[in-house]
Structure 1
């Protein structure tokens, strides 16, 4: 099993990505090999500095990098020898089973859709994130940025994706799926949530438990919370600030510590034909390690096959 990592993606690449690759390598199984995609001489130099054998990895040298501010579609097309473009080509051809990067999020989404493509039956892929729970454990929130505008059928499908992800990767049995809204009552909400509710209520594809409000985010009321990408991204950015604020206020609390993005590595792109994980642009080695391990777990859990089965024509 070969797992691809873009070592040029992120604000602190390639140093942080290669150091993260070293830590990930220590936790991979004997049959699991990490493929480093990017500037090979730079990577080898860092590995030599760390006294870590280059033989632990495979290398694919690339000559271009997609910057954080570049237009995603143009960059993917015009920079065919970039680490992201090459990574997706390898994923498409089956040379690697999973691919992760802390680089340009838009380019990762474009690459996912146009390279490995969306699973048949799914209209739009979604990005998910982890939500710590007050009583311990975690929940899943999606979409958190892939789709700013959504239709009811999109949210319905996100429920299927999130439920499968929670069950297979995080071992949550029969995950409770809820719809983020401004009230718990069925008749509350905007046009999107009002139209989505009956679709979720009538489905047998997941365990729908109704609407939840923002105050329920960290409770045990739901394991998977579905919303549009605009709302989800606002929630995500606010939640990320809790950890930063706790540090600035010198608050030592186990719950706030679990908001540290480093522990989760990245956001999976759910609904495409192979495991893809997008990391935070400021990812440090710990985050890179966890991003790689998440991409591996998505593959070994059989998540993609489970999603494909859910969307097969009946």
Structure 2
């Protein structure tokens, strides 16, 4: 197993990525290897400073970096030797089993679709995120930013993708799938939710339990919450802000600590032909470590192959 990591991505690169990779290495099993992609001249001194044997990692040297503010499509084309472009080339060639980066999220999405491509039958890939539950454990929400505007059949497919991820990676048996709405009643919502609800109600592709509201995000009414990327991103950023507020107010609580993005690593891109994870631009070493472990879990559970089979 080869887990690819863009060492140049993120606001605190390359140090945060190197430290995260060191921490993740200690938790990997024999046969699970991390491949660091980026400027090796910057990587190896950091390993030496931390007394880490560089032979534990594999390296692919690159000399270009796609900045956070660059145009995703142009940057992928114009910087073929960037860490993101090279990472996706290796993923496409089968030399990596997964690829993760805290760099330019648009470039990561474009790279995923252009290199390993969307799984046949899937309309639009999406981003998902873990959501902590008050009772313990976690659920899943998708889309959280890849598709600001969606159609009913796209949301139906998100339900399938989310159910497969929850069942295989999160080990939730027969996950409950719900549609985010402004009311629980069948007839509530905007045009999109009104058109999506009957599709989900009539499907046998997943265990649909109806509409949920924003106040249900952290309870047990649903294991998987489906929404368009605009709504999902607003909910995600609001939830993350709760953790920041509690820290600023000096309030310590186990549940709010689980809203810290670092605990989950990044957002998997579901619907493409290989495991791809996009991390926060502000990713810390802890976040990078968890992003690598999340990559490992997606590979080990054969999630992509199971999604491919479901959409045949």
TM-score range relative to shorter protein? over 0.9
Within 5 Å, give how 1:243-254 maps onto structure 2. Answer: 243-254=243-254
SS in 2 for 1:237: helix
Partner of 2:136: 136
For 1:257-312, what per-residue CA distance to the aligned partner results, in whole angstroms no more than 9, with x for missing partners?
10011110000000000000000111110100000110110011111111111111
SS in 2 for 1:116: coil
Partner of 1:147: 147
Partner of 1:28: 28
For 1:56-106, what per-residue CA distance to the aligned partner results, in whole angstroms no more than 9, with x for missing partners?
011000000000000000000000000000000000000000000000000
Cα distance, 1:29 vs structure 2 = 1.1
For 1:5-43, what per-residue CA distance to the aligned partner results, in whole angstroms no more than 9, with x for missing partners?
000000000001001010111111110111000001110
Distance in 1 between the 2:217 and 2:59 partners? Answer: 42
Cα distance, 1:135 vs structure 2 = 1.0
| RMSD, matched Cα | 0.5
SS in 1 for 2:120: coil
TM-score w.r.t. the length of structure 1 is 0.99
SS in 1 for 2:194: helix
Partner of 2:272: 272
Distance in 2 between the 1:215 and 1:260 partners? Answer: 19
User: Is 2:231 aligned against 1:255?
Assistant: no
SS in 2 for 1:189: coil
Distance in 2 between the 1:35 and 1:218 partners? Answer: 36
Distance in 2 between the 1:274 and 1:55 partners? Answer: 26
SS in 2 for 1:94: coil
TM-score w.r.t. the length of structure 2 is 0.99
Q: Is the CA contact 1:9–1:102 (under 8 Å) kept in the aligned structure 2?
A: yes
Within 5 Å, give how 1:215-226 maps onto structure 2. Answer: 215-226=215-226
Partner of 2:291: 291
User: Is 2:6 aligned against 1:3?
Assistant: no
SS in 1 for 2:162: helix
Within 5 Å, give how 1:63-102 maps onto structure 2. Answer: 63-102=63-102
For 1:130-173, what per-residue CA distance to the aligned partner results, in whole angstroms no more than 9, with x for missing partners?
11111111110000000000000110000000001011111000
Partner of 1:199: 199
Partner of 1:186: 186
For 1:169-216, what per-residue CA distance to the aligned partner results, in whole angstroms no more than 9, with x for missing partners?
110000000000001111110000011011111111100000001111
Distance in 2 between the 1:49 and 1:128 partners? Answer: 36
Partner of 1:235: 235
SS in 1 for 2:115: helix
SS in 2 for 1:89: helix
Segments of 5+ residues of structure 2 without an aligned counterpart are none
Q: Is the CA contact 1:205–1:310 (under 8 Å) kept in the aligned structure 2?
A: no
